[in-house]
């Protein structure tokens, strides 16, 4: 107890006679009360009653000492008698017996009776039973000079105990089996039944009290243990087996009552289990040290086996504040309880006491933990020690924080540890880091003088331009980066450049930013004689009164701060790329991460403050930092997945958010950038682990050319869908200045404000239109599409974005979409935002920038702001029917697109909207927009657009069909007709007479802003190819199918010749039946694959309709056989991706076929019927 008080620095009130200097009487009295309360937590209940009211530490200590170590003659006699009469009982742990004797010796020593080592050794021998007589004679006769000691005795008796356990008379094998089965078949309390019940089952009672050290059951020894024999037999079979999975594994026993599970759902609850052979928890974040791997299985009380995926140490803090370190704790995710093994505690020298429904764990006279009995089990409450526990993902070791901090130096990390700004980082001693050597190793430094430092921010800024590698461009094509360093705060800004002449543009952005942030003006910039700093750059500085300090030629040492910063950043970039295993083209992303961490690192000139703190005056948070390039599982939002799709995707962490919350990730499988705050990091794995663990396994790469159909004519895409051909990763010269706020308590990254670090950046992922199937969109755009008005104003294409927004506003004014009014009382105005899009044409010319004003319709209220919202779209059956007619009758087929379609719908509700950002009217800033027509984002916008278009078509004499309300038909007196198909804002127009079609186009253009696309080439991702010479039209989805195959890693699979082979007999019995099978199937994108196949089936591939229908039956619980069937269909598409749906053979006559099988559904014994309707030789339904 004295040692414990010394460790916790609570010893002074007990052992110091006087009050220390510097403490008041009130503080000293409180200290006494604190120590008294602390000591009371460790005493027995009977002792507690004697000292419960004591408030003076020394007085309480004396009472405890008197109670525990009374030196009266009566106490001495009691302990001495107890020692002499100590007897060892067969079957009891000999180690416990020796510990008990040593405890009594220690008690007597505290009372002044010193026991000689020889006397204690002789007393130990005297305590042994007659069966140990041979050993006693052996030890006493072999003692040198007749003097025996405890070391000899302890070694001898422990060895003899092991020998006795490994030998003994034979016991019936069948009887042992009976004992084992009976023990396991019973509940926990019965397994601990009376000795008489255990004895009554055997033919002999000789081993009734002997404990088997293999299965931990009484009645036999290890040599005759049936479990041990079975495992040995299994091991021999495994050795002769060629199966790689036949290696033997460790098996541990865990027994618990099912009704206890509901009583111990709290994470702080631990079950004290005498039937468990190991400590167990399911919580990964409980471990203070952790080693992942395959460590065998555990056998539950119900016989089930659960896999152990890791082990380590867990440090508990019991309710009395004591630290209890559990060693060799096994990580079993399937466990519902936290278990403490009594057997393991016993092996580690702890004493477990169970009495009157209470459990107490002691070591000597120190009470470490207490618990109480709940439904046949003992439960204790203990939380994880906050001083030792590590992060939930990987453990915040020193090496891990070294990686998180961008391979910061040991000296700087020591300063952070000294300031205690990082939880768990108390001391720093780094091992040799290979990545640091790869990135930082240099020659021995020359002597240098200590530089002076500017007094205020922006008094002096250092700048330099650097080319990392003449042969390596960043992902966006950048070859250079430029740094700007404030001399006072050492705050650094970084920009990436494609060419050196961009230095002036980024300097202007940097200047506007820092002067706005500080309210001060830049006075001087120190630079070298590079050409990028002369000419226009020098002129700009003179115009703004900024003094330039040029270093003399060939003396880079005079611009040493900037040069050293370039070197530091490049060193960190090399370290990050080396550790993350990312290619060198990611140097821009690594540069951003290195720069971000650098501004938060201790700096020697700042007396180990960080540049960020000096610049902002705020404390810096490190909670959100993660290891660059590590593996992460990113949550997939609901609107980007179906209900059965996986909710996460494996990605690579590449940096922190830009002007927004969240982390930045790269999906190496789909080649796209993701920004999210919802992620779980696996910081000890890299991109190699992500790519190596793709969810869809590869199949045979060999692929014969089946030649199912002749090659179709060259297909050409036009219109908006052309941008979906080739996803590209083209970097934009984006910039981000890392201006953080404190991280949230949950460790999320701070919002980043401001702007400048020219950094490599992939195009952001924009939300795709619901018109297109899941894979028909580009994941990465050419340059960064701004996600807000502010970002667009900071983009290098600012002027073009302004022009795009002005075009949108002109359209709104032209359509008289709104009017400015005062907001009436009781009404509220909806918010809006600008959505920016980069459009590409089929010839890859300069992209067109488009801006669209969108209302935030999610805040609309039903019955107030909207009522009905349903709007029809044309069916694929109608599209195929019209194209079949066009092929046979040689009709003209034209295509048109409506510009800003939703702006044409008339509103029936009274809706108000805030004024647009960037276009507020002067002197009317408090006005709002009263919407007269619908806008994008309104819930009723699609419906109002359809009603408007239906009205206009009615005025032109067109009637909608009863089977499809998006098919409009008009028959002319001369027998000609025109058919118009509408899918939101896309139109197909078919008719005999070109002039009448042109008349319709003119009339539509009078009512709406239209774009004439000419002859139809593609609609909804379906390519349209026509040969009027042979009167045929082909519909194809070759590119879509290829993308689906690539997405599911089946693009190199071996092709097959039928959609679904006869050997597939799919039933619900093939669905997963165990948790392990369910977990394996959860990793497979079954629903996503079936959905992708279904879109191809609906559009152009009726040949896979039956196969897709069969695999769709098992969407809720797919099994491995079902997934094999889906892959078979994909393999069929692999060999028939060029197959097209052809129209034009014969007259436009409907021909129908139908058939049914006989009880084809094995589960329900129902029959499956099907039908096929053709027109002009092609399937339409």
Q: What percent of the chain has pLDDT over 90?
A: 5
Asked if the model's pLDDT at residue 528 lies above 50, the reply is yes
What is the per-residue pLDDT for 249? 39
What is the per-residue pLDDT for 234? 53
CATH number of the domain bearing residue 368: 2.40.70
Give the chain's domain count: 7
Residues 126, 194, single domain; the answer is no
Positive/negative CA dihedral, 850, 853, 859, 863: negative
Residues 415, 538, single domain; the answer is yes
Nearest to 663 by CA among 681, 648, 645: 681
What is the per-residue pLDDT for 90? 80
Report the phi/psi class of residue 773: left, alpha or beta, with left for phi > 0 and alpha for psi in -120 to 50.
beta
Residue 714's Cα: distance from chain center in Å?
44
Instruction: Please tell me the number of Cα atoms within 13 Å of 792 on its side-chain side.
Output: 24
Q: Is residue 674 part of a domain?
A: no
Residues 1052, 1161, single domain; the answer is yes
Residue with the larger pLDDT of the pair 770 and 461: 461
Residues 357, 435, single domain; the answer is no
Tell me if residue 1019 falls in helix, strand or coil: strand
User: Which phi and psi angles does 719 have, rounded to 5°?
Assistant: 80, -165
Mean pLDDT calculated for residue range 242-266? 44
Asked if the model's pLDDT at residue 1072 lies above 90, the reply is no
Residues 1007, 922, single domain; the answer is yes
Over its C-alpha atoms, the chain yields an Rg (Å, rounded) of 40
Residue 847's Cα: distance from chain center in Å?
35
Q: Is residue 227 part of a domain?
A: yes
Mean pLDDT calculated for residue range 916-921? 82
Nearest to 262 by CA among 190, 333, 337: 337
Q: Is residue 714 part of a domain?
A: no
Whether the CB-CB separation of 404 and 749 falls below 8 Å is answered with: no
What is the per-residue pLDDT for 160? 81
Confidence category of residue 537, pLDDT binned at 50, 70, 90: very high
Nearest to 1059 by CA among 1134, 1123, 1152, 1120: 1134
Residues 898, 844, single domain; the answer is yes
Residues 434, 288, single domain; the answer is no
What is d(CA 470, CA 476) in angstroms, rounded to the nearest whole number? 15
Supply the range of the domain harboring residue 257.
249-384
Whether the CB-CB separation of 47 and 67 falls below 8 Å is answered with: yes
Nearest to 1179 by CA among 980, 840, 881: 881
Bridge-based pairing state of the strands 758-759 and 734-735: antiparallel
Q: Over the stretch 407-447, which tens digit does the pLDDT of each residue have?
A: 888 778 777 777 766 755 666 667 677 778 777 666 544 44
Residues 837, 878, single domain; the answer is yes
Strand partners of residue 1178: 1175
Confidence category of residue 194, pLDDT binned at 50, 70, 90: very low
Q: Which of 21, 145, 273, 1145 is labelled catalytic?
A: 273
Domain end marker among 616, 638, 672? 616
- Name the residue with tokens 């500080």: 518
Asked if the model's pLDDT at residue 1007 lies above 50, the reply is yes
Mean pLDDT calculated for residue range 1082-1107? 88
Asked if the model's pLDDT at residue 703 lies above 50, the reply is no
What is the per-residue pLDDT for 868? 61
Strand partners of residue 682: 631
Q: Is residue 446 part of a domain?
A: no
Residues 201, 305, single domain; the answer is no
Asked if the model's pLDDT at residue 885 lies above 50, the reply is yes
Cα torsion at 575, 580, 584, 585 (round to 10°)?
A: -130
| 273 is a catalytic site residue | yes
Scored b (16 or more CB within 10 A) or e, 1008-1021 reads: bbbeebeebbbbbb
Q: What is the DSSP letter of 603?
A: B
Residues 985, 1129, single domain; the answer is no
Q: What percent of the chain has pLDDT over 70?
A: 75
Asked if the model's pLDDT at residue 197 lies above 50, the reply is no
Lookup: tokens for 578: 């080396």
Confidence category of residue 71, pLDDT binned at 50, 70, 90: low
Mean pLDDT calculated for residue range 736-741? 34
Confidence category of residue 261, pLDDT binned at 50, 70, 90: very low
Residue with the larger pLDDT of the pair 1119 and 558: 1119
**What order of strands is seen across the sheet that includes strand 928-931?**
818-821, 928-931, 912-913, 829-830
What is the per-residue pLDDT for 207? 58
User: Which phi and psi angles does 827 have, rounded to 5°?
Assistant: -105, 155
Q: Over the stretch 117-163, which tens digit does the pLDDT of each residue have?
A: 888 888 888 898 888 888 888 888 777 777 888 888 888 888 888 77
Confidence category of residue 504, pLDDT binned at 50, 70, 90: very high
Confidence category of residue 545, pLDDT binned at 50, 70, 90: very high
Q: Over the stretch 156-168, which tens digit does the pLDDT of each residue have?
A: 888 888 777 766 5
Whether the CB-CB separation of 761 and 784 falls below 8 Å is answered with: yes
Strand partners of residue 648: 635
Q: Is residue 1136 part of a domain?
A: yes
What is d(CA 991, CA 978) in angstroms, rounded to the nearest whole number? 4
What is d(CA 391, CA 142) in angstroms, rounded to the nearest whole number? 56
Q: Is residue 260 part of a domain?
A: yes
Q: Over the stretch 830-846, which tens digit does the pLDDT of each residue have?
A: 888 888 888 765 444 56
State the DSSP H helix or E strand holding residue 231, giving kind and residue range, or none if neither: helix 226-239
**What order of strands is seen across the sheet that includes strand 631-635?**
672-676, 663-667, 648-656, 631-635, 679-682
Q: Is residue 680 part of a domain?
A: no
Q: Over the stretch 329-369, which tens digit does the pLDDT of each residue have?
A: 999 888 878 889 988 888 887 888 888 888 888 877 678 88
What is d(CA 342, CA 165) in angstroms, rounded to the nearest whole number? 21
Residues 380, 467, single domain; the answer is no
Domain end marker among 213, 244, 275? 244
Q: Where are the beta strands (DSSP E) in 993-1129?
A: 1010-1015, 1018-1019, 1022-1027, 1032-1036
Domain end marker among 166, 197, 228? 166
What is d(CA 774, CA 776) in angstroms, rounded to the nearest whole number? 6
Q: Is residue 27 part of a domain?
A: yes
Q: What is the DSSP letter of 529?
A: S
Confidence category of residue 659, pLDDT binned at 50, 70, 90: low
Strand partners of residue 609: 603
Residues 951, 854, single domain; the answer is yes
What is d(CA 340, CA 342) in angstroms, rounded to the nearest whole number? 6
Asked if the model's pLDDT at residue 859 lies above 70, the reply is no
Asked if the model's pLDDT at residue 312 lies above 80, the reply is yes
Q: What mean pLDDT, rounded, does the chain reach?
A: 75
């Amino acid at each position: 107890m004295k040692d414990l008080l010394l460790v916790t620095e609570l010893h002074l009130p007990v052992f110091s006679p006087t009050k220390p200097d510097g403490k008041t009487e009130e503080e000293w009295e409180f200290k006494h009360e604190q120590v008294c309360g602390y000591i009371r937590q460790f005493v027995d209940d009977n002792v507690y009653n004697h000292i419960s009211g004591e408030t003076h530490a020394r007085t309480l200590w004396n009472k405890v000492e008197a109670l525990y170590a009374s030196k009266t003659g009566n106490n001495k006699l009691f302990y001495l008698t107890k020692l002499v009469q100590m007897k060892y009982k067969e079957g009891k742990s000999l180690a416990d017996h020796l510990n008990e004797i040593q405890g009594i010796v220690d008690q007597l020593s505290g009372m002044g009776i010193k026991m000689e080592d020889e006397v204690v050794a002789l007393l130990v021998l005297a305590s042994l039973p007659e069966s140990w007589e041979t050993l006693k004679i052996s030890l006493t006769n072999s003692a040198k000079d007749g003097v025996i000691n405890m070391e000899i005795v302890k070694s001898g008796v422990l060895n003899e105990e092991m020998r006795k356990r490994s030998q003994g008379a034979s016991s019936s094998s069948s009887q042992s089996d009976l004992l084992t089965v009976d023990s396991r078949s019973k509940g926990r309390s019965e397994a601990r039944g009376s000795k008489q019940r255990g004895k009554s089952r055997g033919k002999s009672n000789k081993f009734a009290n002997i404990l088997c050290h293999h299965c931990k059951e009484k009645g036999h020894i290890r040599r005759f243990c049936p479990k041990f024999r079975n495992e040995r037999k299994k091991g021999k079979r495994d050795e002769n087996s060629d199966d790689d999975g036949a290696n033997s594994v460790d098996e541990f026993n865990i027994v618990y009552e099912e009704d206890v599970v509901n009583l111990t759902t709290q994470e702080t609850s631990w079950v004290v289990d005498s039937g468990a052979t190991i400590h167990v928890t399911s919580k990964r974040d409980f471990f203070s040290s952790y080693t992942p791997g395959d460590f065998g299985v555990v056998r539950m009380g119900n016989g089930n086996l659960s896999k152990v995926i890791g082990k380590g140490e867990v440090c508990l803090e019991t309710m009395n504040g004591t630290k209890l370190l559990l060693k060799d704790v096994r990580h079993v995710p399937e466990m519902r309880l936290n278990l403490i093994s009594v057997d393991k505690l016993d092996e580690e020298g702890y004493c477990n006491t169970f009495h009157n429904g209470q459990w107490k764990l002691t070591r000597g006279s120190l009470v470490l933990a207490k618990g109480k009995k709940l439904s046949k089990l003992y439960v204790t409450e203990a939380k994880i020690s906050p001083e030792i526990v590590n992060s939930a993902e990987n453990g915040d070791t020193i090496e891990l924080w070294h990686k998180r901090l961008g391979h910061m130096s040991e000296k700087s990390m020591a300063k952070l540890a000294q300031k205690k700004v990082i939880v768990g980082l108390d001391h720093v001693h780094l091992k040799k880091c290979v990545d640091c050597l790869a990135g930082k190793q240099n020659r021995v430094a020359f002597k240098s003088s200590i530089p002076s430092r500017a007094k205020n921010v922006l008094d002096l800024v250092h700048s330099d331009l650097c080319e990392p590698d003449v042969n390596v461009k960043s992902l966006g094509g950048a070859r250079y980066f430029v740094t700007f360093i404030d001399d006072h705060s050492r705050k650094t800004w970084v920009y990436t450049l494609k060419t050196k002449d961009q230095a002036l543009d980024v300097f202007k952005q940097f200047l506007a930013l820092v002067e706005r942030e500080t309210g001060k003006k830049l006075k001087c910039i120190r630079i070298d004689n590079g050409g990028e700093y002369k000419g226009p750059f020098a002129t700009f500085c003179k115009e703004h009164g900024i003094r330039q300090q040029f270093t003399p030629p060939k003396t880079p040492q005079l611009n040493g701060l900037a040069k050293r910063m370039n070197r530091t950043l490049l060193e960190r970039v090399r370290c990050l790329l080396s550790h993350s295993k990312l290619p060198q083209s990611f140097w821009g992303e690594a540069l951003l991460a290195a720069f971000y961490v650098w501004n938060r690192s201790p700096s020697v000139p700042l007396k180990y403050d960080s540049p960020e703190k000096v610049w902002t005056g705020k404390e810096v948070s490190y909670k959100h930092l993660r290891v660059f390039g590590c593996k992460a599982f990113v949550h997939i939002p609901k609107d980007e997945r179906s209900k059965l799709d996986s909710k996460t995707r494996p990605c690579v962490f590449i940096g922190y958010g830009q002007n927004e919350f969240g982390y930045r990730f790269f999906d190496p499988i789909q080649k796209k950038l993701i920004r999210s705050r919802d992620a779980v990091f696996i910081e000890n794995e890299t991109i190699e682990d992500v790519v190596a663990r793709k969810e869809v396994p590869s199949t045979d790469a060999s692929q014969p050319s089946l030649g199912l159909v002749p090659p179709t004519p060259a297909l050409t895409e036009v219109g908006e869908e052309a941008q979906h051909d080739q996803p590209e990763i083209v970097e934009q010269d984006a910039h981000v200045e890392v201006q953080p706020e404190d991280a949230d308590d949950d460790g999320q990254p701070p919002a980043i404000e401001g702007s400048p670090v020219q950094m490599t950046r992939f195009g952001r992922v924009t939300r795709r239109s619901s018109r297109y199937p899941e894979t028909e969109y580009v994941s990465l755009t050419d340059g960064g599409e701004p996600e807000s008005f502010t970002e667009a104003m900071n983009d290098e294409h600012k002027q073009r974005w302004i022009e795009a927004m002005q075009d949108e506003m002109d359209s709104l004014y032209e359509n008289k979409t709104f009017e400015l009014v005062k907001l009436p009382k009781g009404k509220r105005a909806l918010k809006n935002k600008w959505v920016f899009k980069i459009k590409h044409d089929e010839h890859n010319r300069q992209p067109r920038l488009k801006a669209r004003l969108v209302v935030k319709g999610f805040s609309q209220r039903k019955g107030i702001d909207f009522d009905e919202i349903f709007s029809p779209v044309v069916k694929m059956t109608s599209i195929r029917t019209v194209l079949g007619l066009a092929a046979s009758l040689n009709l003209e087929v034209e295509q048109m697109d409506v510009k800003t379609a939703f702006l044409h719908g008339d509103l029936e509700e009274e809706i108000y909207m805030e004024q647009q950002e960037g276009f507020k009217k002067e002197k009317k800033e408090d006005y709002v927009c009263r919407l007269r027509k619908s806008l994008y984002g309104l819930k009723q916008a699609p419906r109002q657009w359809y009603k408007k278009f239906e009205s206009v078509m009615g005025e032109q004499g067109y009637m909608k069909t009863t089977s499809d309300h998006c098919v409009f038909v008009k028959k002319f007196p001369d027998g000609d007709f025109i058919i118009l198909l509408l899918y939101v804002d896309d139109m197909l127009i078919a008719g005999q007479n070109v002039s009448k079609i042109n008349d319709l186009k003119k009339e539509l253009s009078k009512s709406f802003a239209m774009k004439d696309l000419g002859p139809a080439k593609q609609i909804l991702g379906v390519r349209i190819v026509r040969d009027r010479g042979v009167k045929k039209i082909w519909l194809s989805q070759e590119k879509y199918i290829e993308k689906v195959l690539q997405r599911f890693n089946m693009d190199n699979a071996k092709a097959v010749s039928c959609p679904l082979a006869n050997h597939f007999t799919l039933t619900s019995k093939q669905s997963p039946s165990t948790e392990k099978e369910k977990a394996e199937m959860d990793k497979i994108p079954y629903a996503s694959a079936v959905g992708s196949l279904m879109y191809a089936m609906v559009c152009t591939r009726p040949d896979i309709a039956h196969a897709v229908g069969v695999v769709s039956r098992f969407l809720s619980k797919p099994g491995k056989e079902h997934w094999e069937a889906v892959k078979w269909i994909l393999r069929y598409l692999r060999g028939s991706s060029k197959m097209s749906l052809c129209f034009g053979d014969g007259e436009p006559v409907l021909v129908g076929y139908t058939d049914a099988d006989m009880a084809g559904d094995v589960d329900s014994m129902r029959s499956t019927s099907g039908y096929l309707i053709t027109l002009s030789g092609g399937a339409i339904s």
